[in-house]
């Protein structure tokens, strides 16, 4: 049901291009225009991002450049934990390089806010986000900029739809021994959040039981998609909907499974660093992220739209019909490092 | 610093011939010493110091060592690294020694081909080889296993890259050229007379090779072994790409974990320190071996060298070279190339699966890729230039014995050779990333780190080249009134041009693929191709990764081509 044929793809692509052009040309509101003028004097903005995958992050950067000529977006894409590591290295060295920081591990923002390392700013466009995303932080130190859905995927030529697991609990069944692939919470923020959620939901020995099934461990949440494409492992655990749909659109035999317990939702913010070298460009970028421009650009590559006025991507189940599971940001700040350490002791890596 | 200038001045006042040292050139020597201190000594010293410091306060503590070595997982990483280094080095020796013997001593056909393969295996970055082997030897999807299953009907894989031996093997496939170069150049020096003596006493070809020829080059074999051991324990890319799925933690991936928030440079330094002890131990061993190697070339030189006639066995040896070629270069390159032009590499080769989109994405749509290509080129070129100039001047002082303690300069210039690259990078981070210089994220930090890391390569080639230039030629110029620098510029340097260019090119090539040091030092705008390539490997898009690897190889190949044109076909493998 999630595989779409070539003609639909082409029609969709044509429509999407037209739509995102329209968004790129949409008139700027007053605050945006003011920021744009100030940002032009700064010339660029550096974006550390672990939220969107490489293709989508690059597309977002290009869309920003197209909408705001004269301000260039430097896209520094990696997994979220690695992006945070870079930020920590910057801080340790006393060097300010990052303007806007985007991570799938919401706990990062609680920490950064507590350490007074964020700038308070509310983009006007935030009022137009999906209702659940409108207020990420009552003090406005960070704003929602990403909604990622993490679920299970399978290679349909290796495991049929009938045999595939149906729930998160199913993947612990010994019959999936040597069949699973999963990312690493030490690299991927989303995998950290996912592991935490699973541990809360399925019990404290979740990681040990997962390990008993000998999953192939990658780094990002996208690595299992590669493993499914290749036929190395038939089941991808905690893959993002968008990377799986993107791979499927390229001709790989993949299908999404919406686990019966619900999907793990990474509702993730972005924030401006207090020492951002380009503060106005950073604010402009926050307007861009919360505005229709970003959603229009990334939905073409199967990412969820975070605004009601931009339709969701083709092939994914509407958010209103899914159960979304997620730990709170405070739980994530405390729990993710802990679950990461536990993971390393159990998996040895 | 000042002590050595004082002694030089003192010596100058006693001996008129050294009066020349009072020329402004003395300032240059001092600058040189300062440069070596900045590039080599300070980072290591700083690392040593902070390994005993408490974070933020700087109070003396040994807690960092307790933290770094207080957990089983961390100790396992050390053990894994030592084992991995040993195994990779051993496999390299097994691969390379028969090839070196065949090329140097026998009438095996296809020597040109073998040379080309060794060169190709050398210039292929190890992490690209690792990606190639993931595509080849994944237990379920690897091409080798797919073919094996369809031929035999077996259910178990023939090979599995995600194992300890698999990883060691992949590393060895890109390290063996070092053993080859060492052993071949040693073999070239042995005269046939020694083998003749063995033959006369009744030894056949094999016995002679085993009992006479190989023992004579034993020190070079061990030298190559040690070098590969050191390279392997400092490798980051392959353990990250193969080791994480194989669930093998090594020192480099563990060091990376110490850089997670909060960044614990102190603990990382403490963790890396014992690696330096290992290397110091190895230098001691190597010193002994170098002494013996001198012995070999002295007795061996001047004799006649004939090729050993192998008869049908030469085809067996040639077969071995072809096998190594297939495993190290041909197969990985084929799968990478296929993937780089594929829409979905899992679908294999077919015409409707072909596309240029991956290259197009990187060259025209990717924000960072063109920047990374440019960074790689100019960082490598600048660091190669710094390394060569510095190496030339140091080598000149050492070879001509212009000042006392010249050997200490030489030692400093060679030291990075035996310091694992990742240790060097952490030293650079500790010393220069933060205040007062705050170089983190700047191009300068990476250029300096590269220059320092590859200084020994430039130094070795400069030293050999200067030795070959008799001082008389310079002296003639100086008698005619030229100063020393002028004489170097007008006489010595032109004579050395070719070897210097050769050294420059080798440094350029190894710098352009460097990952282990770069990964800790790059900032958002200073990412190199190798780092971006590593970042792209977890993006679920091996097609784009392969295409980027293809671009990197094209650049390297162009440089190698220029090198061959200007310096001679064997410039990379020559060992003076």
Residue pLDDT, tens place only, B50-59: 999 988 788 8
Contacts of B253 in chain A (CB under 8 A): 349
Residue with tokens 């050993």: B308
Nearest to A58 among B139, B367, B524 (CB): B367
The DSSP string of B45-73 is HHHHHHTTB-TTT--B-SHHHHHHTSSHH
Average pLDDT, stretch B545-572?
Answer: 84
What is the CATH superfamily name and number for domain A148-264+323-347? Answer: Periplasmic binding protein-like II (3.40.190.10)
What is the model's pLDDT at position A19? 57
- Report whether pLDDT(B378) > 50: yes
Beta carbons of A98 and B541 less than 8 Å apart: no
**Average per-residue pLDDT in chain A?**
90
Integer Cα distance of A90 and A98 in angstroms? 8
Average pLDDT, stretch B33-39?
Answer: 90
Integer Cα distance of A188 and A195 in angstroms? 11
State pLDDT tens for residues B400-412: 877 777 778 888 8
> Among A64-73, A173-182, B95-104, B251-260, which stretch is predicted with the lowest mean pLDDT?
B251-260
- Higher local confidence (pLDDT), A276 or B519: A276
Q: Using a CB–CB cutoff of 8 Å, tell me whether B536 touches chain A.
A: yes
- Higher local confidence (pLDDT), B150 or A3: B150
What is the model's pLDDT at position A252? 86
Nearest to A74 among B73, B253, B367 (CB): B367
- Report whether pLDDT(B2) > 50: no
Task: Read off the tokens for A170.
Answer: 């199913």
CATH code, B243: 1.10.3720.10
Taken as a whole, chain B contains a residue count of 576
Direct distance between the N- and C-terminal alpha carbons of chain B, in angstroms, rounded to an integer? 31
Beta carbons of B260 and A94 less than 8 Å apart: no
- Report whether pLDDT(B8) > 80: no
> In chain B, what percentage of residues exceed pLDDT 90?
37
> Cβ atoms within 10 A of the Cβ of B295, count?
11
Instruction: Pinpoint the residues of chain A covered by CATH 3.40.190.10.
Output: 6-145+268-315, 148-264+323-347
pLDDT band at B366 (very low <50, low <70, confident <90, very high): confident
Average pLDDT, stretch A244-268?
Answer: 91
- Report whether pLDDT(A337) > 80: yes
Do you find a cis peptide bond into B436, omega within 30 degrees of 0? yes
List CB contacts of A348: < 8 A, sequence separation 6 or more.
Answer: B73, B76, B247, B248, B249
pLDDT band at B452 (very low <50, low <70, confident <90, very high): very high
Torsion of CA A288, A292, A298, A304, to 10 degrees: 120
Nearest to B366 among A58, A186, A216 (CB): A58
What is the model's pLDDT at position A23? 61
Highest-pLDDT range among A17-26, B172-181, B483-492: B172-181
CA angle B345, B370, B384 (to 5 degrees): 110
- Report whether pLDDT(B446) > 70: yes
**Window 19-58 of A, Cβ < 8 Å to B:** 46, 48, 53-55, 58
**Window 246-265 of A, Cβ < 8 Å to B:** 247, 250-252
- Report whether pLDDT(A21) > 60: no
**Window 261-280 of B, Cβ < 8 Å to A:** 261-263, 265
Q: What global pTM score does this model have?
A: 0.87
**Window 334-373 of B, Cβ < 8 Å to A:** 343-347, 353, 361, 365-368
Integer Cα distance of B344 and B547 in angstroms? 13
What is the model's pLDDT at position B574? 55
**Window 114-143 of B, Cβ < 8 Å to A:** 135, 138-141
- Report whether pLDDT(A230) > 80: yes
- Higher local confidence (pLDDT), B222 or B4: B222
B6 φ/ψ angles, rounded to the nearest 5 degrees = -60, -50
Nearest to B365 among A53, A62, A82 (CB): A62
pLDDT band at B177 (very low <50, low <70, confident <90, very high): very high
Q: How far away is chain A from the Cα of B488, in angstroms, using its nearest Cα?
A: 41
Q: Using a CB–CB cutoff of 8 Å, tell me whether B247 touches chain A.
A: yes
What is the model's pLDDT at position B309? 84
Maximum C-alpha span of chain A: 60
**Average per-residue pLDDT in chain B?**
85
Task: Read off the tokens for A175.
Answer: 């019959």
- Report whether pLDDT(B327) > 70: yes
Task: Read off the tokens for B178.
Answer: 């070092």
Chain B CA closest to residue A182: B245
- Higher local confidence (pLDDT), B513 or B3: B513
Average pLDDT, stretch B260-289?
Answer: 82
Nearest to B259 among A74, A76, A85 (CB): A85
* Range(s) of the domain holding residue B89: 75-349
Q: Using a CB–CB cutoff of 8 Å, tell me whether B58 touches chain A.
A: no
What is the CATH superfamily name and number for domain A6-145+268-315? Answer: Periplasmic binding protein-like II (3.40.190.10)
Beta bridge partners of A181: A216, A236
Chain B CA closest to residue A251: B344
Average pLDDT, stretch B550-557?
Answer: 91
Q: How far away is chain A from the Cα of B213, in angstroms, using its nearest Cα?
A: 44
Beta carbons of A231 and B368 less than 8 Å apart: no
Contacts of B140 in chain A (CB under 8 A): 230-233
Beta carbons of B441 and A97 less than 8 Å apart: yes
Which of B466, B453, B476 shows the shortest CA–CA distance to B402? B466
What is the model's pLDDT at position B297? 43
Q: Give domain status of residue B237, yes or no.
A: yes
- Report whether pLDDT(B48) > 80: yes
- Higher local confidence (pLDDT), A191 or B366: A191
What is the model's pLDDT at position B187? 85
3-state helix, strand, coil in chain A (%, to 5): 45, 15, 35
- Higher local confidence (pLDDT), B219 or B530: B530
Nearest to A252 among B344, B435, B525 (CB): B344
Contacts of A87 in chain B (CB under 8 A): 261
State pLDDT tens for residues B410-440: 888 888 877 778 888 889 988 998 888 888 8
- Report whether pLDDT(B469) > 70: yes
Which of B199, B216, B220 shows the shortest CA–CA distance to B208? B199
- Report whether pLDDT(B294) > 80: no
Contacts of B525 in chain A (CB under 8 A): 46, 74, 97
Q: How far is CA A168 from CA A93, A199, A238, A291, in A?
A: 42, 11, 9, 34
State pLDDT tens for residues A104-159: 998 999 999 999 999 999 999 999 999 889 999 999 999 999 999 999 999 999 99
Residue with tokens 């030692």: B411
* Strand stretches in B65-224, DSSP E: none
Q: How far away is chain A from the Cα of B524, in angstroms, using its nearest Cα?
A: 6
Q: Using a CB–CB cutoff of 8 Å, tell me whether A236 touches chain B.
A: no
Average pLDDT, stretch B491-501?
Answer: 82
Average pLDDT, stretch B484-512?
Answer: 84
**Window 76-95 of B, Cβ < 8 Å to A:** 76
Q: How far away is chain B from the Cα of A165, in angstroms, using its nearest Cα?
A: 20
Residue A283 class from Cβ within 10 Å (0-12 exposed, 13-18 middle, 19+ buried)? buried
Q: Give the number of domains in chain B.
A: 1
């Amino acid at each position: 049901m999630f595989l779409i044929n070539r003609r639909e793809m082409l029609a969709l692509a044509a429509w999407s291009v037209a739509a995102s052009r329209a968004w790129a040309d949409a008139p700027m509101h007053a605050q945006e225009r003011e920021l744009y003028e100030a940002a032009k004097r700064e010339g660029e903005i550096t974006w550390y991002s672990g939220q969107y995958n490489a293709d989508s992050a690059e597309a977002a950067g290009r869309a920003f450049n197209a909408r705001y000529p004269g301000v260039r977006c430097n896209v520094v894409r990696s997994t979220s934990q690695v992006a945070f590591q870079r930020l920590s290295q910057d801080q340790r060295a006393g060097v300010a390089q990052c303007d806007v920081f985007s991570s799938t591990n919401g706990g990062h923002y609680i920490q950064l806010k507590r350490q007074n390392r964020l700038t308070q700013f509310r983009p006007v466009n935030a009022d137009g986000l999906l209702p659940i995303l409108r207020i990420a932080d009552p003090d406005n130190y960070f704003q929602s900029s990403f909604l990622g859905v993490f679920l299970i995927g399978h290679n349909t030529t290796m495991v049929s739809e009938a045999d595939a697991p149906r729930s998160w609990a199913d993947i612990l069944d010994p019959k999936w021994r040597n069949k699973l692939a999963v990312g690493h919470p030490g690299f991927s923020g989303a995998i950290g959040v996912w592991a935490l959620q699973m541990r809360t939901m399925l019990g404290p020995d979740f990681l040990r039981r997962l390990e008993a099934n000998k999953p192939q461990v990658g780094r990002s949440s996208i690595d299992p998609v590669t493993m499914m494409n290749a036929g190395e492992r038939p089941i991808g655990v905690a893959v993002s909907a968008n990377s799986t749909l993107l791979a499927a659109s390229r001709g790989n035999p993949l299908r999404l499974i919406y686990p019966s317990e619900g999907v793990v939702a990474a509702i993730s913010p972005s924030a401006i660093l207090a020492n951002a070298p380009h503060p106005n460009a950073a604010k402009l970028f926050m307007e861009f992220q919360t505005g229709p421009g970003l959603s229009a650009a990334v939905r073409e590559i199967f990412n969820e739209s975070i605004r009601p006025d931009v339709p969701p991507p083709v092939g994914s189940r509407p958010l209103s019909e899914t159960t979304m599971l997620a730990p709170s940001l405070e739980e994530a700040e405390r729990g993710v490092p802990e679950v990461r350490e536990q993971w390393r002791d159990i998996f040895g890596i | 610093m000042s002590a050595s200038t004082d002694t030089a001045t003192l010596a100058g006042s006693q001996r008129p011939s050294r009066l020349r040292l009072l020329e402004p050139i003395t300032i240059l020597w001092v600058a040189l010493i300062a440069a070596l201190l900045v590039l080599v000594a300070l980072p290591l010293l700083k690392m040593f110091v902070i390994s005993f410091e408490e974070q933020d306060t700087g109070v003396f503590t040994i807690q960092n060592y307790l933290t770094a070595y207080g957990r089983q997982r961390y100790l396992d990483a050390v053990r894994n690294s030592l084992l991995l280094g040993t195994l990779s080095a051993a496999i390299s020796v097994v691969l390379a020694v028969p090839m070196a013997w065949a090329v140097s001593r026998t009438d095996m056909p296809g020597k040109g081909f073998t040379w080309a393969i060794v060169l190709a295996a050398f210039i292929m970055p190890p992490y690209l080889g690792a990606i190639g082997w993931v595509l080849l030897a994944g237990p379920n999807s690897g091409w080798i296993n797919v073919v094996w299953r369809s031929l035999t009907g077996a259910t178990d894989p023939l090979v599995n890259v995600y194992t300890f031996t698999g990883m060691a093997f992949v590393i060895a496939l890109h390290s063996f050229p070092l053993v080859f170069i060492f052993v071949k150049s040693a073999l070239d020096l042995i005269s046939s007379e020694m083998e003749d003596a063995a033959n006369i006493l009744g030894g056949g070809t094999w016995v002679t090779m085993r009992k006479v020829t190989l023992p004579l080059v034993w020190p070079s074999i061990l030298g190559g072994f040690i070098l590969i051991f050191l390279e392997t324990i400092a490798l980051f890319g392959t353990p990250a790409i193969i080791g994480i799925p194989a669930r093998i933690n090594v020192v480099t991936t563990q060091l990376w974990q110490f850089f997670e928030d909060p960044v614990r440079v102190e603990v990382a330094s403490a963790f890396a320190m014992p690696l330096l002890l290992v290397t110091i131990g190895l230098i001691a061993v190597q010193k002994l071996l170098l002494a013996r190697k001198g012995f070999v070339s002295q007795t061996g030189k001047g004799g006649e060298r004939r090729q050993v006639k192998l008869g049908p066995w030469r085809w067996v040896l040639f077969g071995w070279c072809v096998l190594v070629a297939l495993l190290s270069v041909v197969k990985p390159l084929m799968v990478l190339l296929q993937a780089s032009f594929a829409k979905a590499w899992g679908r294999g080769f077919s015409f409707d699966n072909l596309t240029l989109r991956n290259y197009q994405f990187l060259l025209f749509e990717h924000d960072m890729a063109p920047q990374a290509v440019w960074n790689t080129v100019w960082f490598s070129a600048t660091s190669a230039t710094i390394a060569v100039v510095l190496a030339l001047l140091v080598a000149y002082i050492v070879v001509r014995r212009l000042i006392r303690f010249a050997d200490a300069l030489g030692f400093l210039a060679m030291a990075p050779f035996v310091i694992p690259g990742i240790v060097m990078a952490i030293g650079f981070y500790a010393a220069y990333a933060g205040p007062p210089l705050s170089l983190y994220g700047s191009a300068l930090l990476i250029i300096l780190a590269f220059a320092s890391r590859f200084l020994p390569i430039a130094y070795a080639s400069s030293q050999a080249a200067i030795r070959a230039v008799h001082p008389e030629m310079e002296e003639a110029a100086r008698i005619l009134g030229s100063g020393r620098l002028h004489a170097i510029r007008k006489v010595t340097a032109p004579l050395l041009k070719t070897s210097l260019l050769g050294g420059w090119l080798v440094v350029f090539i190894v710098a352009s693929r460097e990952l282990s040091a770069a990964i800790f030092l790059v900032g958002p705008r200073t990412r190199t191709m190798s780092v971006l390539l590593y970042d792209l490997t977890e993006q679920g898009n091996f097609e784009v990764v392969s295409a980027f690897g293809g671009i990197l190889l094209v650049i390297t190949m162009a440089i190698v081509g220029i090198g061959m044109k200007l310096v001679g076909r064997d410039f990379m493998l020559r060992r003076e």
